[in-house]
Structure 1
């Protein structure tokens, strides 16, 4: 929103949209974390696909789920692109 309207401050958005300044920054931090999370998953997929180009989707999901649990901890949802 701020990139489309650079003259609008976060304080003005607070009143119009009904969220706090803290909420605004937390939202963008969550978005950045999700992008990093997605990039990590894509790197793992590419690495496995490089070594095993004919591996099936179920096996790929199973392998990545185990690898990602070891790296990051929380489970992830596999989304087909």
Structure 2
């Protein structure tokens, strides 16, 4: 509106829309101030992530609080998450897989020692099941 009507004052134009002059100038300054704050936060994040590349956003937030100083009330945890997400800097969560079976291929197959034995009485042959193989017990996977 200001460009279309350069001869009309700012207060008159703002009055038409029910706004104050201060709101008009604040609206002009806000994107610049927000861009500066975003750039500052992203620069600090890049510096920290250079040393600790796998540091999560929550811990990163607590490391940034002392460095931001007076800007800290404007930078909250959710703001930091949104900023990092918009720039593609969020880390993917690592899915942990629980290993429930340890198979040792060399030790997996065992010969049948009683294949040709003829069982003639009770308790002549005992059978057992070993659920953990020797290589997983020794620490090799």
What is the TM-score with the length of structure 2 in the denominator? 0.44
Cα gap change, 1:33/1:16 in structure 2, threshold over 3 Å: closer, same or farther? same
Cα gap change, 1:36/1:53 in structure 2, threshold over 3 Å: closer, same or farther? same
Within a 5 Å distance, the mapping from 1:26-65 to structure 2 comes to 26-65=26-65
- Where is the helix percentage greater, Structure 1 or Structure 2? 1
Secondary structure of the structure 1 residue equivalent to 2:38: helix
* Unmatched tracts of structure 1, length 5 or more: none
Q: In structure 2, what is the equivalent of residue 18 of structure 1? A: 18
Cα gap change, 1:8/1:46 in structure 2, threshold over 3 Å: closer, same or farther? farther
Within a 5 Å distance, the mapping from 1:67-78 to structure 2 comes to 67-69=67-69, 72=70, 74-75=72-73, 76-78=75-77
* Unmatched tracts of structure 2, length 5 or more: 86-141
Residue 11 of structure 1 deviates from its aligned partner by: 5.6
Residues paired across the two proteins, number: 76
Residue 74 of structure 1 deviates from its aligned partner by: 4.1
Residue 8 of structure 1 deviates from its aligned partner by: 4.9
Secondary structure of the structure 1 residue equivalent to 2:4: coil
C-alpha distance in structure 2 between counterparts of 1:57 and 1:38, whole Å: 15
